[in-house]
Amino acid sequence: MGIDAHHPESGKPLWNHAFTTSPKICVAQPGIVDGSSILLSLGYGLGSILIDVEEKDGTWTAKERWNCRRLTLI
Amino acid sequence: MFRLQGFSGGFGPALVFGWQKPIEAERPVANSGVSPPLSEAYQSTETDWPEFRGPNHDGVVRGIEYSETWLDLELRWRIPIGEGWSSFCVVGPMAFTQWQEYESQVTVCLRAASGVEVWCNEDKVRFDEAMGGRRATRSPPVALRNFRPLLAQSRS
C-alpha cells in the first residue's frame, strides 16, 4: 500500500511513499495542503499523516512530516 | 448455485447465479499502448477541478454560468471503463481518474474534450471486499502550485 506520484503529462512515476491502511478499508483520499504537502487519512483508528513533497534539479523527495493517530478524517 | 456478489446499500446480500460471468469480465482493458503527445500548454484555469471536492475542498464550482434548461446538453463522448467509485479531477485539457480492471488498479489520464486516453499507470493490486465491492476508490488529486505539475494517487 502507499501513495504514488506521476507526472500528469506523461504518467512517469516521480515518487512514492508507503503506508498501511486498515484491513479491507481503502479510502485514503489524498488532500493537498499549501500546494506542496499531502494529507492522508489512513482509516479507522489509524490517524493521519502529512507528507512534504519537494523537487530539486528534477529529483523528487517525499518525507513524512508528522503522523498523528488522533487526527482522523473518516 | 448462487454466488455472493456483495452487499447492497441496504445491507442486503446481492446474489447472482453461479454460472453468470462477473460484470468486469466484459470490460476492455485500458489501452496502455496508446499515448498521443500533448501539444497544449499545461494551463490551469479557474474552472479546474484539481482534487476531490474541488480546489477549495468545499464542493463549489466557481467561474461558470448555469444553463436554465437541460435540453441543450449534448453527449460528447462515452467510453467503457473499469470498476470504481472514483470521481474525476480535471486540470486544463486533461481529466484523471482511477478504476479497477481484473487484478489491477489503473490511474488514467484522458483528454477531457474527447475521452481519448493519454496515459495509464497500472498497479498490480486489487480491492475486493463483500461490503465495499470491487473498486478503486479515490479521485487522484492534481497539484499545480509552487512547482511543476504533480499527480498523486493512493493505491491499495
Distance CA B41, CA B93 (A): 9
Residue A74: pLDDT over 60: no
Residue B64: pLDDT over 70: yes
What DSSP designation does B5 have? E
Closest Cα in chain A, distance from residue B27 (Å): 23
- The residues spanned by each domain of chain B are 1-56+79-156
Mean pLDDT for chain B overall: 72
Q: What mean pLDDT do residues B27-46 have?
A: 54
Q: What mean pLDDT do residues B63-76 have?
A: 82
Please write the tens of the pLDDT for every residue from A33-58.
887 888 887 777 788 899 999 888 88
Pairing of strands B128-129, B133-134: antiparallel
**Percentage of residues in chain B having pLDDT higher than 90:** 3
Q: B121 and A11: CB-CB below 8 Å?
A: yes
Residue of A29, A34, A53 with shortest CB distance to B150:
A53
Rounded to two decimals, the ipTM of the complex is 0.81
Looking at beta carbons, which residues of chain B come within 8 Å of A61?
A: none
- Which contiguous run of DSSP H or E holds residue B110? strand B104-111
Q: What mean pLDDT do residues B36-57 have?
A: 70
Q: Which of B34-43, B51-60, B83-92, B97-106 has the lowest mean pLDDT?
A: B34-43
Looking at beta carbons, which residues of chain A come within 8 Å of B143?
A: 32, 35-36, 38
Distance CA B85, CA B137 (A): 5
Grid coordinates belonging to A43? 482509516
Distance CA B94, CA B117 (A): 10
Q: Taken in order B105, B88, B92, B56, is the CA torsion positive or negative?
A: negative
Please write the tens of the pLDDT for every residue from B103-149.
888 888 888 888 988 888 888 877 776 666 665 555 666 654 433 44
Pairing of strands A59-68, A31-33: unpaired
CB B91 within 8 A of CB B142: yes
